[in-house]
């Protein structure tokens, strides 16, 4: 499958590496590929420069947001939540029309430092904002509740754990569930419409507390019945 | 142990029944015991009248909020979040001084119907509000992340699952952890200070989505590493 990933941070890289290794054709989109490649310093989250990563992942193309969206049968929003809307606007409604957009973002506000707060919550969500802004795109919120390194590698944990799907289009959720299942996910929970993004986005403060308890991000939720 | 429980709803009843059956001396506090006993209709959440419940639990006393707080070595806030502060003020700072207050409440706002929103979140929490209002009481937030029927009966689920502790007093959290362990809880996660109440209170929208998926409230979170 052709997959366009928006965002060159740790989430975009992990998804690109995993999807590419699984045989998908992957393009990563960024605002300006030359600027991204010219950087040598770590990004604001401490990830090594993209130019370092790309030498080990030459099968993944680096293109503009619009080119990545145009190339993808499925498009993934792996940008930081505070710039997601700008990145998607740069990707372009035409390039996203009719497509599945997997939204992995979280509405984190780092303006008052760490821990971040949420710039939208409870009565609305970033998933819903994106769906409203791109009504002809089929937004499926998922994978925003766990560390990038686990997103396509659930077997790294000691027991099965859960991923969640939120979206208004059942067929789109079905396709995303299939893609997730191909990476070994077993507990794939369809929460309902895109408004259920509120719940998964509001898990973030708890996730940050658990990160602090565990000391590393190798953990995930599971639902026990 | 003498335990005073504030609140006659499903949470207060489940905790009172479980603690009493385990040999603790339990008093349930309400605003006006005679008014509570005189009711014959279900409450606003559909629970049967307290007078029906109490005939099957005669060992549990029904007293005022202040009497329940005074009687308890440990006091439990099992009131609905929107009236918790009033109930605790009626219980009285003098009766709560120096004691552990187990706060099981959630800041649910039903004013716009179902699903409820949260009247405090993200940059503050009900747990913190209560701790600030009663600085000489040792508030431990816990058990607010699962159904009342599971709170003292983790074995009702098919596998071990998690409860969380938030509070500024480590010794108080240790005592509450012991009490929870006595009911069979194995994954008791100390999240940190009372500010971590934000995270557990913000799980509620997700819990409500999962309730809708599962169709019944017999489920809980677990953390997989």
What is the per-residue DSSP string for A83-140? HHHHHHHHH-HHHHTTSEEEE----EE-TT-SS-EESS-SS--HHHHHHHH-TTSEEE
**Model confidence over A76-111: pLDDT tens digits?**
999 999 999 999 999 999 999 999 999 999 999 999
DSSP-derived secondary structure letter, B92: -
Nearest to B205 among A122, A209, A213 (CB): A122
Smallest CA–CA distance, residue A37 to chain B, in Å, is 35
Is B208 at the interface with chain A, CB within 8 A? yes
The ipTM value here is: 0.95
Average pLDDT (A181-200) is 98
Global pTM value: 0.96
| pLDDT at residue B38, rounded to an integer | 94
Quick one: average pLDDT of B154-174? Answer: 98
How do residues B31-67 score in pLDDT, each as one tens digit?
999 999 999 998 888 889 999 999 999 999 999 999 9
Give the CA radius of gyration of chain A. Answer: 16
Residues near B80 by beta carbon (within 8 Å), at least 6 away in sequence: B7, B9, B105, B108
Q: What is the pLDDT of residues A124-169, one digit of tens each?
A: 999 999 999 999 999 999 999 999 999 999 999 999 999 999 999 9
What proportion of chain A, given as a percentage, has pLDDT over 90?
Answer: 94
Q: Which residue of A has its CA nearest to B193?
A: A209
Q: Give yes or no for a contact between B71 and B31, defined as CB atoms under 8 angstroms apart.
A: no
Residue for token digits 């029309």? Answer: A97
Residue-level pLDDT at A43: 84
Instruction: Provide the terminal-to-terminal Cα distance of chain A, rounded to the nearest Å.
Output: 35
Residues of chain A with C-beta less than 8 angstroms from the C-beta of B220: 223-224
Chain A hits for B207, Cβ within 8 Å: 199
Q: Tell me what percent of the residues of chain B surpass a pLDDT of 70.
A: 100
Report the distance separating Cα B19 and Cα B124, nearest Å: 30
Predicted local distance difference test score (pLDDT) of residue B44: 80
Alpha helices, H only, chain B: 10-21, 33-38, 50-55, 65-71, 81-91, 93-96, 126-133, 170-182, 197-201, 204-214
Are A190 and B202 within 8 A, CB to CB? Answer: no
Which one of A191, A212, A218 has the shortest CB-CB distance to B209?
Answer: A191
% pLDDT > 90, chain B: 94
The pairing of strands B220-224 and A220-224 is antiparallel
A2-214 folds as Rossmann fold (3.40.50)
B31 in A contact zone (CB under 8 Å): no
CA of A60, closest CA in chain B: separation in Å? Answer: 30
**pLDDT for the residue numbered A46:** 84
What average pLDDT does this structure show over A181-198? Answer: 98
Q: What is the mean pLDDT of residues A206-225?
A: 97
- Is the pLDDT confidence value at A121 over 90? yes
Do the Cβ atoms of B158 and A196 come within 8 Å? no
- B-contacting residues of A 121-140, CB under 8 Å? 121-123
Does residue B111 belong to the interface with chain A, where contact is any CB pair within 8 Å?
no
3-class secondary-structure state, position B105? coil
Rounded percentage of chain A residues whose pLDDT exceeds 70: 100
Residues 6+ apart with CB under 8 A from A86: none
Measured between CA atoms, how close is A156 to chain B, in angstroms?
9
| pLDDT value for B93 | 98
Q: According to the model, what pLDDT value does residue B56 have?
A: 93
CB contact under 8 A, A206 and B200: yes
Chain A: residue whose CA lies nearest to B225 = A219
Q: Are B28 and B64 in contact (CB under 8 A)?
A: no
Confidence of residue B16 (pLDDT cuts 50, 70, 90): very high
Distance from CA of A116 to the nearest CA of B (A): 9
Label residue A45 by pLDDT band (50, 70, 90).
Answer: confident
Q: Do residues A69 and A96 lie in contact, with contact meaning Cβ atoms separated by under 8 Å?
A: yes
Q: Which residues of B touch A212 (CB under 8 A)?
A: 191-192
Is B223 close to A223, i.e. CB distance below 8 A?
A: no
Of B190, B205, B222, the CB nearest to A224: B222
**Residue B62: C-alpha distances to residues A142, B2, B17, B48 (Å):** 47, 14, 13, 16
């Amino acid at each position: 499958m052709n997959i366009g990933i928006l965002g060159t941070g740790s989430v975009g890289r992990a998804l690109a590496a995993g999807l590419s290794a699984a045989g998908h054709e992957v393009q990563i989109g960024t605002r300006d590929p030359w600027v991204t490649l010219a950087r040598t310093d770590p990004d604001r989250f401490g990830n090594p420069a993209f130019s370092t990563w790309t030498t080990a992942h030459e099968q993944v193309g680096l293109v503009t947001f619009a080119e990545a969206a145009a190339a993808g049968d499925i498009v993934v929003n792996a940008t930081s939540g505070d710039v997601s809307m700008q990145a998607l606007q740069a990707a372009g409604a035409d390039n996203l029309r009719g497509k599945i957009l997997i939204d992995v973002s979280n509405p984190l506000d780092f303006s008052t430092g760490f821990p971040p707060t949420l710039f939208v919550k409870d009565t609305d969500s970033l998933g819903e904002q994106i769906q409203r802004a791109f009504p002809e795109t089929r937004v499926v919120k998922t994978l925003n509740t766990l560390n990038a390194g686990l997103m396509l590698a659930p077997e790294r944990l000691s027991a099965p754990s859960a991923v969640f799907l939120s979206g208004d289009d059942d067929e789109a959720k079905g396709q995303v569930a299939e893609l997730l299942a191909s990476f070994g996910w077993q507990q794939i929970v369809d929460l309902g419409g895109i408004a259920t993004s509120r719940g998964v986005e509001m898990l973030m403060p708890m996730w940050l507390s658990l990160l602090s308890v565990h000391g590393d991000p190798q953990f995930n939720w599971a639902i026990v019945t």
